[in-house]
Amino acid sequence: SMGSSLLSGRLDQLLSTLQSPLESLELAFCALLPEDLSFLARSPHAAHLKKLDLSGNDLSGSQLAPFQGLLKASASTLLHLELTECQLADTQLLATLPILTRCAHLRYLGLYGNPLSMAGLKELLRDSVVQAELRTVVHPFPVDCYEGLPWPPPASVLLEASINEEKFARVEAELHQLLLASGRAHVLWTTDIYGRLAADYFSL
């Protein structure tokens, strides 16, 4: 766990000397660069990762392709993926879905604090039907439920701005109906971030 450490361009120095591959890696708010993600994707660690936390790292620009490479490399083992506040909008999510859905054993997906719309969430829900082991998705309040958002909205705005409760109630109802229709009512889709971010590796 290296959360909130400034690791820009130095992830290889940190991990390359380890004798055994890691199964859990928490790199939240580490200002990772594309080369850090590319290194991790090529490293022995990628194929063994069960838990990966990249929260607070901007994955929306030049980091997106290296992140997708990392996701592809860890798809066969990943159980828990945390991407809170990664500036992932619909465009980036939809481009990543074909790789994300290869994570056949994924049980937890955290996307809170990302500027996703209801349309993006619906695409995620539909595509994730193939992930039989998925049990929890912590999703953001859709951008459709805010009033007068700047674009792209910084995470601080998404976390602090007021939600239109009526709009969000309709969103929840629609997501629930989609889950029922797909036979996935047992999967928890929630905006309740508390208590779920800190899932311990040993509980996976």
pLDDT of the residue at 152: 80
Rounded mean pLDDT, 180-200: 83
Q: Are 146 and 164 in contact (CB under 8 A)?
A: yes
Residue 187: pLDDT over 90: yes
State residue 108 phi and psi, 5-degree precision.
-135, 135
Does residue 2 belong to any structural domain of this protein? no
Does residue 9 belong to any structural domain of this protein? no
Burial 23-48 (b: 16+ CB within 10 A, else e): ebbbbbbbebbbbbbbbbbebebbeb
Residue 27: pLDDT band (50, 70, 90) is very high
* Range of the structural domain that residue 108 is part of: 28-190
Residue 76: pLDDT over 80: yes
- Taking alpha carbons only, the member of 147, 137, 141 closest to residue 115 is 141
Global confidence as pTM: 0.94
Please give the share of the chain, as a percent, with pLDDT higher than 70. Answer: 97
Does residue 181 belong to any structural domain of this protein? yes
- The mean pLDDT value of the chain amounts to 94
Residues 144-184 pLDDT 10s: 999 888 888 888 888 888 999 999 999 999 999 999 999 99
Q: Are 138 and 190 in contact (CB under 8 A)?
A: yes
Does residue 94 belong to any structural domain of this protein? yes
Does residue 155 belong to any structural domain of this protein? yes
Q: Are 139 and 86 in contact (CB under 8 A)?
A: no
Domain count, the chain: 1
Residue 198: pLDDT band (50, 70, 90) is low
pLDDT of the residue at 199: 63
Does residue 108 belong to any structural domain of this protein? yes
Burial 49-72 (b: 16+ CB within 10 A, else e): bbbbbbbbbbbbeebbbbbbbbbb
Does residue 48 belong to any structural domain of this protein? yes
Task: Read off the CATH number of the domain in which 83 is found.
Answer: 3.80.10.10
Residue 194: pLDDT band (50, 70, 90) is confident
Does residue 42 belong to any structural domain of this protein? yes
Residues 83-103 pLDDT 10s: 999 999 999 999 999 999 999
User: Is the pLDDT higher at 139 or at 200?
Assistant: 139
As a whole number of angstroms, the distance between CA 170 and CA 90 comes to: 20
Rounded mean pLDDT, 7-23: 94
